[in-house]
Structure 1
Amino acid sequence: MLDNILDNIKKKSLKERFLLVLGILFFLLYLVLGLFIIFMDNFPLDMSLPYRIAFGVILIAYASFRFFRIINDTNT
């Protein structure tokens, strides 16, 4: 299966590969931002802990949504 994914990536044009890398970069950005918001002790915005956790979970859920879209796009 991994060989199939790597072959599909190699068949993509330069523009498609750039967009794939950009998609992975933004996935990681949303994931890390969500984790920072949840676990950062001195958060610069004045938010209570339940709202920070909810916002962080929403960002992590959005990051996983983007990840599954990248995976599905890579398989086609």
Structure 2
Amino acid sequence: MLKRILINIQKKSLKERFLLVLGILFFLVYLVLGLLIIFMKNFPLAIHPNYRIAFGVLLIVYSSFRFFRIINDNKH
């Protein structure tokens, strides 16, 4: 599967490859941000811990949604 993805990336135009890299970058940003919000002890905003965890989980779910969109867009 990885070989097929790499071959498919090589067939893409420069613009499509840039957008793919940008999509992967934002996937990682949302994932890391969600993990930081959940596990950071000295969070700079005064948010109730339950809401902070819920927001972190929401960001992680959104990052997984973006990841599956990247995978599905890359199959074409």
Within 2, Cα distance between the matches of 1:3 and 1:32? Answer: 27
Query: Deviation at 1:62?
Result: 0.2
2:69 maps to 69
Within 5 Å, give how 1:29-40 maps onto structure 2. Answer: 29-40=29-40
Aligned to 2:3: 3
- Whole-Å separation in 1 of the counterparts to 2:46 and 2:6: 45
**Structure 2, unaligned runs of 5 or more:** none
TM-score, normalising length from structure 1? Answer: 0.98
Query: Percent identity among equivalent residues?
Result: 76
Unaligned runs of 5+ in 1: none
Superposition CA RMSD, Å: 0.5
Runs of 4+ in 1 over 4 A off after TM superposition: none
1:3-44 CA distance string (max 9 Å, x none): 111110000000000000000000000000000000000101
Q: TM-score, normalised by structure 2?
A: 0.98
